[in-house]
Structure 1
Amino acid sequence: MRDTGWFKSSRSTSGSDNCVQVRITDTATGVRDSKNPGGGQLTFGRAAFGALLAAVGEGR
């Protein structure tokens, strides 16, 4: 099973407070607040996470 562990985007700046962390496995992608990693996470299936990225990229 592939599991990347939690990571932040390479585009995140070190001084920014507006970062999320992502964790990718074979079946799902998790997203959580980097300032509060124990505060819960959202979990998306592959298709749903792809749709989320597309919507964000379009500014929706």
Structure 2
Amino acid sequence: MIHHAAASFWKAYNALPAPVRSQADKKFALLKADPDRPSLRFKPIGRFWSARIGLR
């Protein structure tokens, strides 16, 4: 699976606190290893996909 992110995503990602970016990086590694992993709660939202990073 190939993953793409818009420039606006990277702007928002870079604005996150370091601990949240670290969590996001760990979840992305899980996504690359197993896109069907239930803990990601990966789901379509319109033409994009969403994955849960933390509890909120």
TM-score of the pair, normalised by structure 2:
0.35
Question: Higher Cα Rg: structure 1 or 2?
Answer: 1
Larger helix share, 1 or 2:
2
Larger strand share, 1 or 2:
1
TM-score of the pair, normalised by structure 1:
0.33
